Amino acid sequence: MSKRDLIPHAKRWVVKIGSALLTNDGKGLDANAIAGWVAQMAELRLRGIEVVLVSSGAVAAGMRRLGWDTRPTEIHKLQAAAAVGQMGLIQTYEVEFQRFFLHTAQVLLDHDDFSSRQRYLNARSTIKTLVSLNVVPVINENDTVVTDEIRFGDNDTLGALVGNLIEADLLVILTDQQGMYDSDPRTNPNAKLLSEIAADDTRLEQMAGGTGGALGRGGMITKVRAARVAARSGADTVIVGGRIENALLRVAAGENIGTFLWAEQKPQAARKRWLSGQLQTRGTLILDDGAAKVLREQGKSLLPVGVKEVRGDFTRGDMVICADSEGREIARGLVNYHADEARKIIGKPSSQIIDILGYKDDNELIHRDNLVLP
């Protein structure tokens, strides 16, 4: 039995389209190609499949409108290009979806929408409500205001995080390659297209080395990482060539095109899914060997007695990394004490916290409900 047999049962999709496809490798928005993808997504909706679109292309489209041949490096110019390009991009989607009597909604997200629990829940509720109203959400990173320090890095990652957010069954990444190969087809004429492989397969990093083109920020390695993020909530991923005729409909039929990266693990609880999506951390806790072993093997709460060192400046509720004595990340979670407080109580049993600090909020530095393993 092929793992692709799971695809026809997927009823909630996140479709991500890359910059090179949308702009026909930098020649301006490809209206004909967009019309084709929209027609396929409209057909998916008729079949009862919920579709959320994550679209790149704003910066590339803005560059074209502004007459720029090369992608700028200055953040303010990139943001200006995104602001200009977003107008044309959304207008094109709106016109095409209207042909099928479907409304669209622009949703711009940034890191704070995933790191703030309240904003995370608000974003999820809004997107799910839009879908229930037969509206197609068109999602992009809020490039106009975001800074390099807190950006997602690429829309492959954003697509995966949106998949986690709305509990999607399938993430479909449309790219300018036929799918994923066992080596770079641009340099190896004998590279073979992978049909299906587990998202967590350790061989994928070597196969996916290299970056994308000048228009976008992602490469095949970011798509592999996105598939792994999506797998945290039980979503499978398909990486497939967007220029393949009726690619989306053929994927829906379970046809053997592109590369299917299936999720091995069961869906995490909603809160764990939110924690998995946190990209910005405020500090690091270095654990002793015993605590590292307990976290790795049993996933229990982290107590102060198991921590050897506190690095960084964080406050209660911030996301911190838990690392072993060699600095390797083994988990991350929401910490219960300020960094200065943590430094006073590490290495001590929880029974001494009130004597050391004069009060005690929690016995644990990080409760297991607020802890997630990579």
Per-residue pLDDT, averaged over 254-261, amounts to 94
Per-residue pLDDT, averaged over 167-191, amounts to 88
Question: The tokens of 349 are what?
Answer: 């049993």
Report angle CA 314, 315, 319 to the nearest 5 degrees.
Answer: 65
Looking at per-residue confidence, does 183 or 146 come out higher? 183
pLDDT (tens digit, 9 = 90+) per residue, 40-95?
999 999 999 999 999 988 888 888 888 888 888 888 888 888 889 899 999 999 99
Distance CA 93, CA 138 (A): 8
Residue 213 — very low, low, confident or very high, per pLDDT cuts 50/70/90? very low
Share of the chain above pLDDT 70, in %: 93
pLDDT of 37 > 60? The answer is: yes
Chain-centre distance for alpha carbon 222: 9
Q: If DSSP codes are grouped into helix, strand and coil, which group holds residue 215?
A: coil
pLDDT of residue 211: 44
pLDDT of residue 112: 80
DSSP string, 273-324: HHHHT-----EEEEEPHHHHHHHHHH-PPBPGGGEEEEEE---TT-EEEEE-
Domains of the chain, first to last: 3-273 (3.40.1160.10), 281-372 (2.30.130.10)
pLDDT of residue 152: 53
Q: In the 3-class helix/strand/coil scheme, how is 27-59 assigned residue by residue?
A: CCCCHHHHHHHHHHHHHHHHCCCEEEEEECCHH
To the nearest 5 percent, what fractions of the chain are helix, strand and coil? Answer: 40, 20, 40
Report angle CA 173, 238, 179 to the nearest 5 degrees.
Answer: 80
